[in-house]
Amino acid sequence: MPKRRRNDNTQSSKIEFLDLNLPYTIGESSKASATKKKTRLKIVIKAMELGYTGVAYNHSIKGAMSNSDTCAISLIPLSSIVQVAPQTLFSSVKFHRELLNVPVNSPFRQYTRLTVAVDSMIQVAALNSGNPVLKTYDLVAVKPSNQITFEQACKVAEVDIIAINFSDKLPFRMDFHNVKAAIKRGIYFEITYSHLISDINARRQMITNSKLLVEWTRGKNLIFSSAAASASELRGPYDVANLSSLLGLSMKHAKAAISKNCRSLLHDSIQKKQYYKNAIKVERIISSTKPIDSKEAWFCDGDDHISSREGDLLLDDVATKVPKISKAIDFASIAEKIASNGFPLKDWLSPSKLPKMSKEVNLASIAEAMV
Amino acid sequence: LIYFYFLLQTDLQLWIIMVRFRNRYLVMEIFLDPNKDLAKDDPIILTANNVSKAIKDSIRQNFGECGLASLIGSFQVTYVNNITKLCIIRVAREGLEKLWSSTTMVRSIGQCQVMFNLLDLSGSIRACKVAALKCDEAKSEQYKQLMGDNITPEITETMQNCLEKIKILS
């Protein structure tokens, strides 16, 4: 009991803002894909600057899945950000994070997400926990297009998010029972705000449609995200929370919808993937030099599966690699220390219980190469 | 004694004014052309006039003539710094949500694509001044870092003037 309470305290003190819908498309020709990559990079840099601590790249497919749909989304490495980013990125991110009360050292996380637009019962039936394609993504979302699929998505389908396109006339009727059933099962509803900003005609439809959803959920199990096609459609976290007040949400629920709800959604979905029936996790024990404390190894800290991942961008790494014009704090000596041990800086700042298999080895080797 | 009484009277009047008109002060930064690669020269010059015009257009588009009319009485763009792209907006407490949503939905000033981002929200001019000074100084450091050696003495002088302007705001 006391251990759980302590866990809750640490979770609530970390403020995080996550934007869980950045569209990811594959270009047909190599030139198109290069421009798309560049756009995506710019959006990610903007999100980092605005104070977000995590994004999810959303790959949309229609209808039936095939093996070619397994996750091929490349997470953006630190090197490409440093190439494009302006020199002031580090100080700008630090400035915004301090204003938003986000801990400056929290890493910027990248997740992958799949959105399946379903038309019929058969396609919905494919969205179950046995589907191997779904397992390759961190988050799975379903986009129902008629009444039957909506009901099935709420009651049966094993997904994390139900995404509905609110900017057109809704092709089905949302009713309270289905929404309630979905919330009971732990599914989150998503509202995207880029249509409010970009398209004047779509604003009206969007507000009309999403007001219903907001009234029924009252902020519970609701997340906001941008489906930003370009960097100009992104907005800062508190600005988004205020936009949701147009839809009838109170400020407290609105702020939760961009931070706490997103975080618990990620927590739940990753837990579903790693654990069998939410209780048993299978892990490979590599004989390491450190003896694993047997008690700690059995009781897993629930926070750990979000804490260290591939593709985490640490702010201090950004600072070291960007060529500095004016003098700043000398991180070079710290970077050398990191390279020799192979552990990221944040491990030294926060005591970790389980021995972490350092997946950030590639970051450390880049630091070594540059320094 | 008479002098003391006089001071008390004026303080009382000021307190009555302060209590009757409750305002909110937003410190916002403006991102110009978020899509383009970083260009060292600015597409437009930000002034209180064009910022306030853009916001008023957005209010009229989203909340109509009556919405604009109810906000415009207390709405004022108090301070704009073109170099650090910072602005302070004052609005009555009742109109805060509408105004804030309208500024979030502003897409362009003139021909240039912009993006507003809220840095600080406060209820008194004093707190607003403190926050704005902090933000302005941080942003001017970033500007200096960006420009490197290209800073002319005029720019530093304009920055100093702007900082002075914040300090004498009331």
CATH number at residue A89: 3.20.20.140
Identify the CATH number of the domain in which residue B71 sits: 3.30.70.3250
For residue B53, the model assigns a pLDDT of 93
| Closest approach of B24 to chain A, Cα-based (Å) | 15
Report yes or no on B24 lying in a domain: yes
Report yes or no on A118 lying in a domain: yes
CB-based contact B145 A232, cutoff 8 Å: no
CB-based contact B138 A242, cutoff 8 Å: no
CB-based contact A325 B145, cutoff 8 Å: yes
| A·B CB contacts under 8 A | 73
For residue A34, the model assigns a pLDDT of 81
Q: Where are the alpha helices (DSSP H) in chain B?
A: 2-20, 48-72, 96-104, 125-147, 153-167
Report yes or no on A4 lying in a domain: no
For residue A68, the model assigns a pLDDT of 73
Question: What's the domain range around B85?
Answer: 20-168
For residue A132, the model assigns a pLDDT of 79
Please give the Cα distance from A21 to A43 (Å, whole number): 11
Contacts 24+ apart (CB under 8 A), A122-131: A123/A63, A123/A64, A123/A149, A124/A149, A124/A152, A124/A153, A124/A156, A124/A157, A125/A152, A126/A64, A126/A65, A127/A153, A127/A157, A127/A158, A127/A159, A128/A157, A128/A158, A129/A158, A129/A272, A131/A65
Q: What are B60-78's pLDDT values in tens digits?
A: 999 999 999 999 999 999 9
Question: Which residue does chain A place closest to B26, by CA atoms?
Answer: A239
Residuewise pLDDT in 10s, chain A (371 residues): 554 444 444 444 578 888 888 888 876 677 878 888 888 888 888 888 898 988 999 988 887 777 777 777 778 777 777 777 767 788 888 888 888 888 888 888 888 888 888 888 888 887 777 777 888 888 889 998 889 889 888 888 888 899 988 888 888 888 889 999 999 988 999 999 988 888 888 888 888 888 888 988 888 889 999 888 888 889 999 999 998 888 888 888 888 888 889 889 988 888 877 766 556 666 656 555 445 444 444 444 433 344 445 556 666 655 555 444 333 333 333 344 343 443 444 433 444 333 333 334 444 444 444 44
Q: Which residues of B touch A254 (CB under 8 A)?
A: none
Q: Which residue matches tokens 């899945």?
A: A65
Least confident range of A190-194, A256-260, B149-153, B158-162: B149-153
Q: Which residues of B touch A234 (CB under 8 A)?
A: 34, 115
- Select from B57, B91, B94, B101 the residue whose CB has the most chain A CBs within 10 Å, as the one to mutate to test that interface: B101
Q: Which residues of A touch B120 (CB under 8 A)?
A: 99
What percent of chain A lies above the pLDDT cut of 70? 69
Report yes or no on B78 lying in a domain: yes
For residue A239, the model assigns a pLDDT of 92
Report yes or no on B4 lying in a domain: no
Find the CB nearest B107 among A42, A99, A197: A197
For residue A341, the model assigns a pLDDT of 40
For residue A198, the model assigns a pLDDT of 85
One DSSP character per residue, A13-28 reads HS---EEEEEEE---S
* A82: Cα separation from own chain's centroid: 21
- Other Cβ atoms closer than 10 A to A79: 13
Q: What are B20-60's pLDDT values in tens digits?
A: 788 999 999 998 876 666 555 667 888 899 999 999 999 99
CB A259 within 8 A of CB A15: yes
Report yes or no on B6 lying in a domain: no
Closest residue by Cα to residue B165 from B127, B129, B141: B129
Structure-model confidence comparison of residues B164 and A332, the more confident one? B164
Structure-model confidence comparison of residues B8 and A144, the more confident one? A144
Considering its fold, how many domains does chain B have in total?
A: 1
Report yes or no on B13 lying in a domain: no
Helix (H) or strand (E) holding A190: strand A188-192
What percent of chain B lies above the pLDDT cut of 90? 41
CB-based contact B142 A230, cutoff 8 Å: no
Token output for A359: 């997946």
CB A190 within 8 A of CB A21: yes
Considering its fold, how many domains does chain A have in total?
A: 1
Q: Which residues of B touch A322 (CB under 8 A)?
A: none
| Closest approach of A26 to chain B, Cα-based (Å) | 20
Phi, psi for residue A84 in degrees, rounded to 5: -90, -30
Kindly give, in sequence order, each residue whose CB lies less than 8 Å from that of residue A257, ignoring residues fewer than 6 positions away. A219, A222, A223, A224, A241, A244, A249
Report yes or no on A218 lying in a domain: yes
Please give the span between the terminal C-alpha atoms of chain A, in angstroms, as a whole number: 47
CB A56 within 8 A of CB A21: yes
CB-based contact B62 A86, cutoff 8 Å: no
Question: What's the domain range around A63?
Answer: 18-285+309-316
